[in-house]
Amino acid sequence: MMASHLLNLTIFSAVVSTVFAMLLRPDTRSRVRFGLLAFGGFMAAALVVGWIMYPFPL
């Protein structure tokens, strides 16, 4: 079930971003903004680090 790395990464990023946004921001607008930024940051960082690690056979 759900063997896709990208799908798992996306779900993980969405849930963690949602919780962080709810805990760290006081109102709906700033929560949505923070949540989207955190989600994008998670995804971008994982993809960039993944590509950087790609040539290394470790």
Partner 1 sequence: MQAAAACGAGTTCAKIGLSRGVGVEDDLAQTPEVIVRAARPAAAVPACLLAWLLPGAGHLYLRRTGKGLVLMGAIVSMFVLGVLLDARLQPYLGFDDPLAILRSLAQMAMGVPYFVARALGVDAGQVVSVTHEYGNTFTEVGGLLNILVILDAFDTAMGRKDTGA
User: Where on the chain is the footprint of partner 1 (CB under 8 A)?
Assistant: 1-3, 8, 11-12, 15-16, 18-19, 22-23, 25-27, 29
Task: Kindly tell me which of 19 and 37 has the beta carbon lying closer to partner 1.
Answer: 19
Task: Kindly tell me which of 4 and 54 has the beta carbon lying closer to partner 1.
Answer: 4
Query: What CA–CA distance (Å, rounded) separates 10 from 33?
Result: 17
Query: What CA–CA distance (Å, rounded) separates 42 from 48?
Result: 10
**Smallest gap from residue 52 Cβ to partner 1 (A):** 21
